[in-house]
Amino acid sequence: MKVSVYNIKGEDTGRKVELPAEIFGIEPHQHSVWLDVKRYLAAQRQGTHKSKERSEMSGSTRKLHKQKGTGGSRKGDINNPLYRGGGRVFGPRPRNYDIDVNAKVKRLARRSALSAKAAEGNIFVVEDFSFEAPKTSAFANILRSLNVDGKKPLTVLPAYDQILYKSCRNIDRAAIAPASDLSTYQILNAGALVIAESAIEKIKENCE
């Protein structure tokens, strides 16, 4: 699959680059995509939720009144969950939400997501670029010239670039990621992928 290479002004350079068919041209495997997205979202949960149970409350453990003979119900201490300020019954406890997914399934999911984006025509390859200093307006101009500024674009770089990251982080609905960290969720969450030319080989390594 060949796609045109654009410069940062949005102009077609006249060159074309080959996107590997085994990564950008397969039939998407929906179940693998679902598993990997579920794994990603589960990993974002902190799992630090906790409520105090009866034994953890601060309060007297004295029995409120004798068991029998009062005409009322039987009561224990003031930390009883039935009382206001008492402990909580079966409340949340800290837990780990991580889900294990096989490496093969993760790679298949990434290939499926990339293939879906390619089939939609939402992959744009640009010549490698960099800035001498962070400049949000310059990065926004690149996205605007490629006509992807309203498509929730994800820019994929061959490696992490702090200057480009700082240039992108204040642009609404735009994101940036190195090819080695590219996830299925990021691909699907983006409306368009802007891929630096030298990042294609890194994406291939990440999906093999």
Q: Computed from CA positions of residues 170, 175, 176, 182, in that sequence, does the dihedral angle turn out positive or negative?
A: positive
What's the mean pLDDT when you consider all of the chain? 95
State the CB neighbour count (10 A cutoff) for residue 54.
16
Nearest to 115 by CA among 64, 184, 17: 184
* Token couple for 30: 């929906």
| pLDDT tens digit sequence for 105-146 | 999 999 999 999 999 999 999 999 999 999 999 999 999 999
Predicted local distance difference test score (pLDDT) of residue 204: 93
* Token couple for 33: 């995509």
Question: Has residue 195 got a pLDDT over 90?
Answer: yes
Contact 136, 47 (CB under 8 A): no
| pLDDT tens digit sequence for 73-103 | 999 999 999 999 999 999 999 999 999 999 9
Predicted local distance difference test score (pLDDT) of residue 208: 83
Predicted local distance difference test score (pLDDT) of residue 136: 96
Predicted local distance difference test score (pLDDT) of residue 1: 81
Q: How far is CA 100 from CA 28, 31, 40, in A?
A: 21, 15, 10
User: Does the domain formed by 2-45+97-207 have CATH 3.40.50.1820?
Assistant: no
* Token couple for 172: 């609404």
Contact 26, 112 (CB under 8 A): yes
Q: Which residue has the tokens 């004798």?
A: 66
DSSP notation for 107-161: HHHHHHHHHHHHHHT-EEEE-----SS--HHHHHHHHHHTT-TTS-EEEEESS--
Q: How far is CA 32 from CA 41, 99, 114, 138, in A?
A: 14, 13, 13, 37
Question: Has residue 25 got a pLDDT over 90?
Answer: yes
Alpha carbons 133 and 204: distance in angstroms, whole number? 29
Ranges of each domain in the chain? 2-45+97-207, 48-96
> Which one-letter amino acid corresponds to residue 92?
P
**pTM listed for this prediction:** 0.86
The fraction of the chain above a pLDDT of 90, given in percent, is: 95
**Distance between first and last Cα of the chain:** 18
Instruction: Count Cβ neighbours within 10 Å for each residue of 156-166 and write b for 16 or more, e otherwise.
Output: bbbeebeebbb
